[in-house]
Structure 1
Amino acid sequence: MTALRFIEHLHDLATGRDVVLSDIWGVVHNGLVSFPEACAALKTFRSRGGTVILITNAPRPADAVQRQLRKFGVPDDTYDGIASSGDLARSYVAAHPSKAVYWLGPERDSSIHSGLDPVFAPIERADYIICTGPFDDETETAEDYRAMMMQARERKLPLICANPDIVVESGDRLLYCAGAIAELYRELGGEVIFYGKPHRPIYVRAMALAREQRGKDTPLNRVLAIGDSVRTDLMGAHAFGIDLLFLTRGIHSEEFAGIDQLDPASVKELFGRPPRALMRELKW
């Protein structure tokens, strides 16, 4: 294994690529404002004939994700489509219309239920749990839900995780996500169904959106993923068979502080199987 070097520009990897599957949070915005250079880089890729599909573990449908992107200042012409874990989780709710659901998550994620009219119930009477995150991600962690998860396990409730992320960047802070609660539930012996990265269905959905835009399938060797998480972006890209450009300024920024080059031992420790290349933050 050779040393894994940083690259300076997206165009260093863009030659021979037709489709980019880009993470959102940590790549094009930080949960508060957009990253203008990152948005410009994806727009430039599109202007040269490429297709950009945003692939996100946001526990909301694509139209709600788009509204949030606009709020943060991400222009619509940054991308061609959005594949969200929220849309995939909605498919489970739609397929179980007679089942009662206990919704665990903040009110801002209510759009995940829009148009589905699910039957809500307390955990004592629910048939399954939809988890979009902690009720209060500003103050809570997964441990705040241990008693609830033990109660759910005793009732053998499936937990549908609409966001497999453990943490997400918000400005200069890291907030806990649904994935942290889901992993606790799995450790306790509960059944968890994950929707989103690193699991295959969201990549299949993203490539279907790319096919709609391009009018044909794209070979996987002409697809580049971009992300900032080892657990979701890197593992998901490897499992799906596509290259990943890994951004180091996101949730792993402390691990990469002051590093300009990684030796083989460090690569193995940080990544296991390495990404295609590293970049601090996305720019053309």
Structure 2
Amino acid sequence: MARMAAPNASDTKIFTGLKQIAETRHYKAWLLDQFGVLHDGKKPYPGAISTLENLAACGAKMIIISNSSRRALTTLDKLKTLGFDPSLFIGAITSGELTYQHLQRRDDPWFQMLGKTCIHMTWSDRGAISLEGLGLQVVENVEKAEFVLVHGTEALGLSSGDSVSKNLGELEKILEQCAAKGIPMVVANPDFVTVEARELRIMPGTLAAKYEKLGGEVKWMGKPHEIIYKEAMAMAGVEASDSIAVGDSLHHDIKGANASGIESAFITCGIHSSELGLNGFGELADVASVRALASKYDAYPSYVLPSFTW
């Protein structure tokens, strides 16, 4: 059985920078979340780019491990436009990539059982997710659908290949019909919310959680589930004991690392900043507040840092 990382809040070490972690222990692979850690969706966080360069100089293998519903190559391209050097990473594993590969290969028994017609929830302002190459037929009538595929929370895919904007309430009404029919859901981004330019945005995991409450079956294709961590460790060719995950979500990043038996670093300037009473980037969180929040989420980081800085 894998060794659980930092099994309780009192084991957590509070540091001010990643240099202290790197000097404490040599981790061969760093599994890095992006939103809330490296950038806010619009620009890199202060010091993030130089910190990556310092980690690379230490010989670390770095992999982006993200609940983004987009493909891995798209994620790396986006990082490049934000000023990051893609060559610093050995690759990226995203929920969207895992979803695409499983829907295409159909070599998993659960995915073999899925049909080819689906209700597709996607993005509009952010750009719809392409289903090209999957052999799927998007339908608008729930009665014709064999499963629900959720990439986004802004729009409903149409059979023409276009999409129509929908608000959260409208999408939830469609989910009620899907749940009544008893069809399964594949969620290509398990995040509940994400931080974008200091604002929290509703993500597909919120719809998936709603679907489970309605009695629907959900296949979660990302953090905190082990599937994405195993994929990342296989890409790096490392064992759990040589890996560390860095993220800003206790429920997704830290809980997922705990379940996979790898150590973790919790970045407090991300989605939990308000819960921790933080007002500015790089502000140190109160130790007691961090430990109380970790206990609340039953997710225990090995290290706590104010930001992804060296």
- Whether TM-score is above 0.5 comes out as yes
Indicate the residue corresponding to 2:139 in structure 1: 121
Match of 1:251 among 257, 260, 271: 271
CA RMSD of aligned residues (A): 2.4
Q: Which range moves more in the overlay, 28-37 or 139-148?
A: 139-148
Indicate the residue corresponding to 1:148 in structure 2: 174
Give CA deviations for 1:231-271 in whole Å, capped at 9, x if unaligned.
10011000000011000000000122353322796265444
Aligned length: 277
Instruction: Note closer, same or farther for the CA distance 1:219–1:265 as it changes in structure 2 (3 Å cut).
Output: closer
Q: Which range moves more in the overlay, 95-104 or 83-92?
A: 95-104
Match of 2:189 among 149, 157, 163: 163
Retained in 2: the 8 A contact 1:134–1:176?
Answer: yes
Retained in 2: the 8 A contact 1:64–1:111?
Answer: no
Give, in whole Å, the separation in 2 of the partners of 1:278 and 1:142. 34
Give, in whole Å, the separation in 1 of the partners of 2:290 and 2:192. 27
Q: Which range moves more in the overlay, 51-60 or 87-96?
A: 87-96
Give, in whole Å, the separation in 2 of the partners of 1:86 and 1:264. 31
Q: Say which SS state the counterpart of residue 35 (structure 1) adopts.
A: coil
Give, in whole Å, the separation in 2 of the partners of 1:79 and 1:202. 16
Indicate the residue corresponding to 1:183 in structure 2: 209
Indicate the residue corresponding to 2:3 in structure 1: none
Q: Which range moves more in the overlay, 119-128 or 188-197?
A: 119-128
Identity %: 28
Which amino acid in 2 is paired with 1:86? G
Indicate the residue corresponding to 1:220 in structure 2: 240
Retained in 1: the 8 A contact 2:103–2:134?
Answer: yes
Retained in 2: the 8 A contact 1:4–1:264?
Answer: no
Deviation at 1:219, TM superposition (A): 2.8
Which amino acid in 2 is paired with 1:125? K
Q: Which range moves more in the overlay, 36-45 or 189-198?
A: 36-45
1:54-203 matches, within 5 Å, as 54-94=64-104, 95=106, 99-107=116-124, 108=126, 110-122=128-140, 123-135=142-154, 142-203=168-229
Matched, 1:11 2:37: no
Give, in whole Å, the separation in 1 of the partners of 2:217 and 2:101. 18
Which amino acid in 1 is paired with 2:195? E
Q: Say which SS state the counterpart of residue 80 (structure 2) adopts.
A: helix
Which amino acid in 1 is paired with 2:209? E
TM-score (normalizing by structure 2): 0.82
Give, in whole Å, the separation in 1 of the partners of 2:10 and 2:115. 55
Give, in whole Å, the separation in 1 of the partners of 2:167 and 2:98. 24
Instruction: Note closer, same or farther for the CA distance 1:141–1:175 as it changes in structure 2 (3 Å cut).
Output: farther
Instruction: Note closer, same or farther for the CA distance 1:17–1:91 as it changes in structure 2 (3 Å cut).
Output: same
Structure 1: gaps spanning 5 or more residues: 212-217
Structure 2: gaps spanning 5 or more residues: 1-8, 107-111, 156-164, 279-284
Indicate the residue corresponding to 1:43 in structure 2: 53
Deviation at 1:205, TM superposition (A): 1.0
TM-score (normalizing by structure 1): 0.89
Deviation at 1:202, TM superposition (A): 0.7
Moved over 6 A (4+): none
Give, in whole Å, the separation in 2 of the partners of 1:268 and 1:53. 25
